[in-house]
A and B are shown apart, each in its own frame.
Chain A
Amino acid sequence: MAYDGKDKVLEEVTGKSYEFGFTTEIESDKAPAGLSEDIIRLISSKKEEPDWLLQWRLEAFAVWQTMEEPDWPHLNYVKPDYQAISYYAAPKQKKQLNSLDEVDPEMRRTMEKLGISMEEQKRLSGVAVDFVMDSVSVATSFKEKLGELGIIFCSMSEAVKEHPELVRKYLGSVVPTRDNFFSALNSAVFTDGSFCYIPKGARCPMELSTYFRINESGTGQFERTLVIADEASYVSYLEGCTAPQRDENQLHAAVVELVALDEAEIKYSTVQNWYPGDASGKGGVYNFVTKRGICHRRSKISWTQVETGSAVTWKYPSCILKGDHSVGEFYSVAVTNNAQQADTGTKMIHLGKNTHSTIISKGISAGNSHNSYRGLVQIMPSAANARNFSQCDSLLMTDTSGAHTFPYIEVKNPTAQVEHEATTSKIGEDQIFYCLQRGIDAEQAISLIVNGYAKDVLNQLPMEFAVEAQKLLSISLEGSVG
């Protein structure tokens, strides 16, 4: 049999289980640590995938083995031991708690400050409640409504089964498996994620959020997202959650691919608040994400991100402006505190004529953290009359934090116009004192100043997300000055 390895794995796992009774039945679905072709075959067969997808994964794995983890980011971390990670664990069960009293008080305090409802708090922290039924029905009614418009919004696993032609056509079309070390790894081992297809001319009537898929099992550490907006369609997609998310998996390597066909528009908003670790960064999530969109003729992709979590962030949501008159936008607020490190930015690759891109990046560094903006604006010879405007601002909250800017600009067409503005400033003691003198306390003063600084980006977020993101910024910076 070709699956010798798999059988061995299963044998090993099942052989040592049962001693813990019922729970071992869940445990039995967990692959042993390590990555090999056999493990990939195991993942693929567990998910009952078609052969083309298995081959695709194996190819990615072969490429990954020849690659080196990148050293160029301005990040300092201990590289994960990829053979010590278990790549398949399904279904992922959160530890069930009986009441909110069992939830980490620190986490509860944060959720309360964010104004998250009791029910939502319970859901987020994994407290067993019957309202899950509610959210299932909410999700179902949404699905019906979307279905009427021909919009597909489901898990990646489901899409592989139900819409294989779309998945096969577009998976890896924007981020090829060999694109980088982490995308190759993700391609080999991804377990789930989200899939979204908006048909021609459809305007998605609501913000699509993974929130409505919570009844489905967790997507794990190697998430794969694919959003396809067919001609002249529109979708706004929300990813993430302002509530602090803890995860036992330290390494996260997601891939997000966006395809905007002619005259389509995709707005992709992210609030990322993974556990940053303790004050020294210990235990925090490493977040290595590859996000990229391709814009066809007269289409537009907007990335908006608010990054406050993770111990290490490596992330460059990018746009390939392939079609003439296409538009790419990147709006980012990245906050680092304590020992957090972020190396984030974007790439705007102009191929088509009259393509426009805008980059607004606002970094905020507190504690001993380091925050880097890294961006590439590339105007190819074919991109006549391309335009780019970049603004990269850094705000330092302390003397011990760092802000770094690495802008790369490559212009290969003389008709291009590229503007770049950058500022670095320290949060003004004068500004804080001005607020204090008006009777505003220090915490609120910092919140006002920081939110004002990030306003241009926050304004890009959908309303309710923006309100939460504002609170999140304040919480992330609590006690960071003075």
Chain B
Amino acid sequence: MLKINELQASIDESKILKGLNLTINPGEVHAIMGPNGSGKSTLASVLAGREDYSVDGGMVHFNGTDLLDMDATERARAGLFLAFQYPVEIPGVSNINFMRAAVNGKREHEGLDPIKGKDFLEMVKEKAKLVELDGRLRNRSVNEGFSGGEKKRNEIFQMAMLEPKLAILDETDSGLDIDALRVVSEGVNAMRSPDRSFLVITHYQRLLDYIVPDFVHVLVDGRIVRSGGKELALELEERGYDWIKEDAVA
């Protein structure tokens, strides 16, 4: 699914990722944890194709194609989805119209005609159930006036609509209360399947109680310094990041 090899990236001449390696196979859920400033969100942005970052070295293969060779739109259409840490508001553009443009973009990529109105609305209804996104939120402007929890639910709703091959969740748990966390996690879990992979970026172990990962990686200073099973997350929760940082230096 995804193979990252010695990835180096920087922003404004400051190096953030310094040779990152990671392989994700179909159906796997990987969690990336790490202290603030370790490069977690940079990794998400670089994979999604944000142009503010420059890729200075390394390779990323996504389903056999060179991901770094594609622009952000192409990556999205090829099945890479990023649930944003801070979803932006787009005033005046209804959530529904926005998703319709997105779904049709993907269909165009697949050589399909634009989706019919009726089919689209049915799809919206079905997918909205996953994250309990009510009609009011579907028709409002994208994220405008949404609470923190509503924004994150909207991200997962969009993910469900676009049925990606690889979904990257960038600190989806930040700013969520326990009920919203449950709803969002259930939405994600409902989408787990043998041919869909997840990369869950989080600062806290809490999210991983709900979305149970197959692998946990610890990112420190732009490199993955330790990988393990879900028990690694618990160990981090208990001991913090410092011991790993010291290990990494040593």
Interface residues of A (CB under 8 A from B): 428-431, 433-442, 444, 448-449, 451-456
Contacts and interface: CB of A to CB of B under 8 A. Distances in A.
A459 to B, nearest CB: 10
B88 A440 contact: no
A438 B80 CA distance: 9
Nearest to A450: B92
Interface in B127-146: 141
Contact of A440 (B52, B81, B102): B102
A438 B50 contact: no
B92 A453 contact: yes
A451 B93 contact: yes
Interface residues of B, number: 30
A440 B101 contact: yes
Given A451-B93, A452-B141, A439 B88 contact: no
18 contacts: A429-B52, A433-B50, A434-B88, A435-B90, A438-B102, A438-B105, A439-B77, A440-B73, A440-B98, A440-B101, A440-B105, A442-B73, A444-B101, A448-B93, A449-B93, A452-B91, A452-B92, A455-B92
Contacts of B98: 435, 438, 440, 448
B126 interface: no
B26 to A, nearest CB: 21
B102 A448 contact: no
Query: Does more than half of chain A's interface fall in helix, strand or loop, or is it mixed?
Result: helix
Nearest to B98: A448
B109 interface: yes
B91 A439 contact: no
Given A444-B101, A448-B98, A438 B76 contact: yes
Interface of B: 48-50, 52, 71-73, 75-77, 81-82, 84, 87-88, 90-93, 97-99, 101-102, 105-106, 109, 141, 158, 162
Q: Nearest 10 A-B pairs (CB), nearest first? A: A452-B92, A452-B93, A455-B92, A439-B76, A439-B105, A438-B102, A436-B72, A439-B77, A430-B88, A434-B88
Given A437-B81, A440-B101, 9 more contacts: A431-B88, A433-B48, A434-B90, A437-B48, A439-B76, A439-B77, A440-B105, A452-B141, A453-B91
A439 B141 contact: no
A438 to B, nearest CB: 4
Contacts of A454: 92
A435 B105 CA distance: 11
A102 to B, nearest CB: 33
A438 B88 contact: no
A185 B109 CA distance: 56
A351 to B, nearest CB: 34
A436 B73 contact: yes
B73 A439 contact: yes
Contacts of B77: 439
Contacts of B88: 428, 430-431, 434
A448 B76 contact: no
A436 B90 contact: no
Nearest to B82: A437
A439 to B, nearest CB: 4
Contacts of A435: 90, 98, 101-102
